[in-house]
Amino acid sequence: MTARNQVRLFGIDLDVLDLRGAVERIMDFAGKRPARIVVTPNLDHLLKLQSDAAFHAAYLETDLVLADGMPLVWLSRLEATPLPERVAGSELIVPVCREAAARGRSVFFLGTTDAVLAEAEARLRQEIPEIKVAGRHAPGFGFREDDAAQKQAAEIVAASGADILFLALGAPTQEVFAVRYRDTIGCGVVLCIGAGLDFLAGRTSAAPVWMRRSGGEWIWRVLQEPARLAPRYGRILWRLPGLLGAHFSERRARRTGDPG
């Protein structure tokens, strides 16, 4: 197994990789079984991890942890092994699909809605005509609490023979599902990409590149969906000082060797 170069932030070990390195690692996973799981935490995820035991347990079982958030990149610069760049789940889709097509690997899309899945696949086929799509499935409302629907979805993916699964169910549903069914789905790698397919389909407008690189993407997203996202980012800003305090306390303890 490839040695993992990681940096610890907010109690989570993140892999120190740029986009190109992440794609290469994912393609290496695609040829292996059982499934490896890729997650892309942001500050919202880190807050949920503090209170959702199932989510936290799932994160501990993942195989590649990439930073989807400039605050994580900035904070890592205080460490010996800083993160080279932000690697968002939405930014992995096209390069992974392009590399998969070049290597004869097939992909499957699970999550969001039938319409979004169809639009996302159409856009990918325009950009990557040789892409091999093994299938797509939109499980519908209430998926997180529906064990039968989850089992059915896992079996649909397995029957497709896909090598790579893009999981667009939102956190923490997608991470918990991926870990629970990693031995059932039959693919080599699962990418938990949240709203990535909505961006690809054009249902959600992506922030300009300069905003993503400067850490201002959250402002753009709040302006796009104020009713849904303003409360979320309000909670993040409210709880961020406590999260930072806990991080620096843990950091000091690690450096001094004092577990307390």
Contact 137, 156 (CB under 8 A): yes
Q: pLDDT by residue (tens digit) across 182-212?
A: 999 999 999 999 999 999 998 776 767 777 7
Residue 229 has pLDDT above 80, yes or no: no
- Amino acid letter, 203: R
Q: pLDDT by residue (tens digit) across 50-71?
A: 889 999 999 999 999 999 988 8
- The structure tokens 């393609």 sit at 27
Cβ–Cβ contacts within 10 Å for residue 2, how many?
8
pLDDT number for residue 260:
46
132-137 vs 12-15, strand pairing mode: unpaired
Residue 237 has pLDDT above 90, yes or no: no
Q: What percent of the chain has pLDDT over 90?
A: 65
Q: What percent of the chain has pLDDT over 70?
A: 93
Name 9's bridge partners: 12
pLDDT number for residue 55:
95
Name 165's bridge partners: 108, 190
DSSP string of the chain, one letter each residue? -PPP-EEEETTEEEE---HHHHHHHHHHHHTSSS-EEEE---HHHHHHHHH-HHHHHHHTT-SEE---SHHHHHHHTTSSS---S---HHHHHHHHHHHHHHTT-EEEEEES-HHHHHHHHHHHHHH-TT-EEEEEE---TTGGG-HHHHHHHHHHHHHHT-SEEEEES-TTHHHHHHHHTTTTS--SEEEE-TTHHHHHHTSSPPPPHHHHHHT-HHHHHHHHSHHHHHHHHHHHHHHHHHHHHHHHHHHHHHHHT---
